[in-house]
Amino acid sequence: MQFSKSTGYALHALVYLAGANPGTNLGIRELAEFLGVSESYLSKVMSKLRQGGLVRSAPGVSGGYELAHPAGNITFRAVIEIVEGRQPLYECARFEEHRHSLFRKQGARGHAARECLVQSVMNGAEQELQAYLRAHTIQWVLDNARLSKHANTRG
Amino acid sequence: MQFSKSTGYALHALVYLAGANPGTNLGIRELAEFLGVSESYLSKVMSKLRQGGLVRSAPGVSGGYELAHPAGNITFRAVIEIVEGRQPLYECARFEEHRHSLFRKQGARGHAARECLVQSVMNGAEQELQAYLRAHTIQWVLDNARLSKHANTRG
DNA sequence: ATATTGTGGATATAATTGATCCGCGATCGG
DNA sequence: CCGATCGCGGATCAATTATATCCACAATAT
DSSP symbols for B15-45 = HHHHHSPTTPPBPHHHHHHHHTS-HHHHHHH
Mean pLDDT of A24-36: 94
CB B65 within 8 A of CB B26: yes
- How many H-runs (helices) and E-runs (strands) does chain A carry? 6, 2
Q: Could you tell me where the DSSP H helices lie in chain B?
A: 5-19, 28-35, 39-51, 76-84, 117-134, 138-144
Rg (CA), chain A: 20
**Which nucleotide has the shortest C1'-to-CA distance from B42?**
C19
Residue A131, Cα to own-chain centre: how many angstroms? Answer: 12
Q: Give residues 52 to 91 of B whose Cβ lies within 8 Å of A.
A: 76, 80, 84, 87-91
Q: Could you tell me where the DSSP H helices lie in chain A?
A: 5-19, 28-35, 39-51, 76-84, 117-134, 138-144
Note the pLDDT of residue A100. 66
- Measured from the Cβ of residue A154, the count of other Cβ atoms closer than 10 Å reads 5
Nearest to A125 by CA among B131, B101, B63: B131
Nearest to A34 by CA among B24, B74, B100, B137: B100
Cα separation of A131 and B155, whole Å?
39
Note the pLDDT of residue B112. 46
Range of the domain at A130: 5-154
Split into its structural domains, chain A has a count of 1
Give percent above pLDDT 90 in chain B: 70
Secondary structure of residue B134 in the 3-state scheme: helix
Give percent above pLDDT 70 in chain A: 81
Note the pLDDT of residue B155. 28
**Which nucleotide has the shortest C1'-to-CA distance from A84?**
D18
pLDDT reading at B101 higher than 50: yes
Mean pLDDT of A117-145: 96
> CA of B44, closest CA in chain A: separation in Å?
18
Main-chain phi, psi angles of A101, to 5 degrees: -75, -15
Lowest mean pLDDT across A25-34, A40-49, B143-152? B143-152
pLDDT reading at B107 higher than 70: no
Amino acid occupying residue A144: N
Mean pLDDT of A96-119: 65
**Contact status of A153 with chain B (Cβ, < 8 Å):** no
Nearest to A23 by CA among A80, A62, A74, A76: A62
Q: What is the pLDDT of residues B17-76, one digit of tens each?
A: 999 987 889 999 999 999 999 999 999 999 999 999 999 999 988 899 999 999 999 999
Which secondary-structure segment (H or E) carries A66? strand A64-67
In angstroms, how far is the first alpha carbon of chain B from the final one?
42
Note the pLDDT of residue A115. 78
Note the pLDDT of residue A23. 81
Higher pLDDT, A21 or B4: B4
B56 touches strand D (CB under 7 A): no
Mean pLDDT of A94-113: 59
Question: Cβ contact (<8 Å) for B1 and A5?
Answer: no
Mean pLDDT of chain B: 87
Residues in chain A: 155
Note the pLDDT of residue A99. 57
CA of A95 to C1' of D21 (A): 41
Identify, with chain letter, the residue nearest to nucleotide C4 (CA–C1').
A61
Residues in B touching A138 (Cβ below 8 Å):
none
Out of B35, B90, B136, name the one closest to residue A121 (CB): B136
**Contact status of B142 with chain A (Cβ, < 8 Å):** yes
CATH number of the structural domain spanning residue B47 = 1.10.10.10
CA of A31 to C1' of D8 (A): 50
Q: Within a 13 Å sphere around the CA of A120, how many CA atoms are in the beta-carbon half?
A: 16
- Provide the positions of strand D that have an atom within 7 A of a protein CB: 3-10, 18-23, 26-30
CA of A67 to C1' of D28 (A): 19
- Confidence band of B97 (pLDDT split at 50, 70, 90): low
**Contact status of B19 with chain A (Cβ, < 8 Å):** yes
Note the pLDDT of residue A107. 59
Cα separation of A149 and B2, whole Å?
40
